[in-house]
Amino acid sequence: MTAPRRLLLVNGPNLNLLGTRQPEVYGTETLADVEALVRTTAAARGFEVRAMQSNHEGVIIDAIHEARRDCAGIVINPGGLTHTSIVLRDALASVDLPAAEVHISDVNNREDFRKLSYVRDLAVVHVIGEGVAGYARAVERLCDVITGQSEG
């Protein structure tokens, strides 16, 4: 079977509000802008994208499980679940797909509780604090990993 040329893009809780509040932290671009950027970047590498956002942990877990069937990798900004969710960690570990962890803000230079990520060691790509543009970098690096050009 040929490997699927599809990525799952997951945005976690509250990221539906991108562009509406806290522009000094998260910028002015919207979730629709993020999804369009990811689709364009992935298309240039020959990948299509299934994009989802949810404020509900279980919905995100289901989407990750589903990705096992037809995706080659996962780009994920888990939002606040990054710092709290062993359930999310277990889901990512169970699907055995390469994952890229993205954070718009520099979580290492904010409150201490944002420094802990339950998914960090599972992800093969990390893009942190590069704003919305970081999603494009994450896609490019993840596609390189999937197509065997590099790691990390």
Residues that are catalytic: 26, 103
Give DSSP secondary structure letters for the chain: -PPP-EEEEEE-TTGGGTTTS-HHHH-S--HHHHHHHHHHHHHHTT-EEEEEE-S-HHHHHHHHHHHHHH-SEEEEE-GGGGGT-HHHHHHHHHHT--EEEEESS-GGGS-GGGS--SSGGG-SEEEESS-THHHHHHHHHHHHHHTTS---
Residue 17 binds to ligand CA2 (criterion: CB under 6 A) = yes
Least Å distance, CB 124 to ligand CA2, is 18
Least Å distance, CB 110 to ligand CA2, is 7
Residue 105 binds to ligand CA2 (criterion: CB under 6 A) = yes
Nearer to ligand CA2, 6 or 126 (CB): 126
Residue that has been written with the tokens 């990993």 in this structure: 145
Residues in 42-81 that interact with ligand CA2 by CB under 6 A: 77, 79-80
Nearer to ligand CA2, 41 or 85 (CB): 85
Residue 104 binds to ligand CA2 (criterion: CB under 6 A) = yes
Residue 82 binds to ligand CA2 (criterion: CB under 6 A) = yes
Q: Which residues bind ligand CA2 (CB under 6 A)?
A: 14-15, 17-18, 20-22, 26, 77, 79-80, 82, 103-105, 107, 114
